[in-house]
Structure 1
Amino acid sequence: MAEFRRAYGAAPWHLLLLLGCFAVTGWIALRLAGEPTAGRMLLWFVGAAIAHDLVLFPAYASVDRALRVTWRRGASPSLLNHLRVPALGVGLLFLVYLPGVLGLGDGTYAAATGMAPRARFGQWLAVSAGLFAASALLYVARRLSRRTR
C-alpha cells in the first residue's frame, strides 16, 4: 500500500474516485455526441474555462490580495472572511443569472419558457443585501459570544 501511495502520489480511493469521474464524463460525452448543439455547448464550456482562467481568476485574486494587504494593518482576519463569503456568493449569482439580472436575451428566454422576460436586477440586489446582512449578523454574534467567554 505504501509503495502504491508513493508511486501514485495519493491513496487508492483517490484513483477510484478519479476513474469514476472519468467514466461519468465519458458517458455524458457519449450522450451529447448525437446532440445537434453539442458543438455550441463545447464552445461555451471551453470559452467559460478560458474566460475564468485568463480574466476572472486574476481579477478576483488581485482584489483578494489587495484586501489582505490592507487588512494586515490591524483589522481582524475574521471580518475579512465575513466579507469574502457573501461577495463570492453575490459574484456567482451574478455570473450564473447574468442575462436575467441585466434583462438580456429576451428572445431566447421567451422562446424557451413562453413567458415575457423581466429584469431581475432589484431581486439580485435584495439577495446580495441579504447575504451581506446575514454575514454581518453572524460576525456580530461571534464577536459577542467571544466577549461573554
Structure 2
Amino acid sequence: MAVFRRRYGASPLHLLLVLASFALAAYAGVRLLKGDTLGVALWFVGAALVHDLVLLPLYAVTDRAAQRLFREIPGQRPPRPSVNYVRVPVFVSALLLLVWWPLILGQVDRYTAYTGLPADGFLGRWLLITAALFVASAATLVVRRWRESAPRRRAARRQRRARRPAK
C-alpha cells in the first residue's frame, strides 16, 4: 500500500474514483453524441468560443472593477478579501440565471402544458434567492468583521479598567 501511495501519490480509492468518473464521462459522451453528433460538436465548440472570447474577458474586467471598488486599507495586514462577499452571491445568482433564464424571463412556450405547473413566478423567486444570497453574504461579512475586532475591543476594555482610579 505504501509503495502504491508513493508511486501514485494518493490512495487506491482515489484512483478508483477517478477511473469511475472517466467511465461516467465517456458513457455520457457516447450517449450525447448518439443523436446529432455534428450539432453537439458545433454547440460545444461554439460554447467554448463564446466563453473564451466573450464571457471570460467580461467577467475578468468586472472582477477587476470589483477589486478596485472593494480595495482594502493600505498597510493593513493581513488583507481581508471583502470582494469575495460580492463575488459569491453574484456567481451563484448568475449561474441560476444562466440555467433557468427561459423560465425567469418568461420565454417559454407550452411549459404549463408539459409540466402542469404555472410558468410565472420564476422571476420573483430568482430575485428573492438573489436578495437572500446578498443578505447572507453581508451578514457573514458583518459577523466576521465583528469577530476580528473582538480582541481589540477586549484590549480597549482592559485599558479603560486599568486607567480607572482605585476606590
> TM-score higher than 0.5 here?
yes
Q: List gaps (5 residues or longer) in structure 2.
A: 152-167
Q: Which residue matches 1:100? A: 103
Mapped to 2, the partners of 1:94 and 1:41 lie a distance apart of 22
1:75-90 matches, within 5 Å, as 77-90=80-93
Q: Structure 1: which amino acid aligns with 2:124?
A: G
Q: Which residue matches 2:64? A: 65
Q: Let me know the Cα RMSD of the aligned residues.
A: 3.1
Q: Percent identity, please.
A: 40
Larger radius of gyration: 2
Q: Which residue matches 2:28? A: 28
Q: Structure 1: which amino acid aligns with 2:91?
A: L
Mapped to 2, the partners of 1:119 and 1:48 lie a distance apart of 29
Structure 1 pair 147/19, CA: closer, same or farther in 2 (3 Å)?
same
Q: List gaps (5 residues or longer) in structure 1.
A: none
1:1-149 matches, within 5 Å, as 11=9, 19-34=19-34, 36=35, 40-72=39-71, 74=73, 77-107=80-110, 109-110=111-112, 112-149=114-151
How far is 1:33 from its partner? 4.6
Higher share in helix: 1
Deviations 1:100-127 (A, max 9, x none): 11011223x3454244422511111111
Mapped to 1, the partners of 2:38 and 2:113 lie a distance apart of 21
How far is 1:48 from its partner? 2.7
Deviations 1:48-75 (A, max 9, x none): 3332222111111111112223433638
Q: Indicate if the aligned counterparts of 1:86 and 1:132 stay in contact, CA closer than 8 A.
A: yes
How far is 1:141 from its partner? 0.7
Aligned length: 141
Q: Indicate if the aligned counterparts of 1:102 and 1:119 stay in contact, CA closer than 8 A.
A: no
Mapped to 1, the partners of 2:82 and 2:124 lie a distance apart of 27
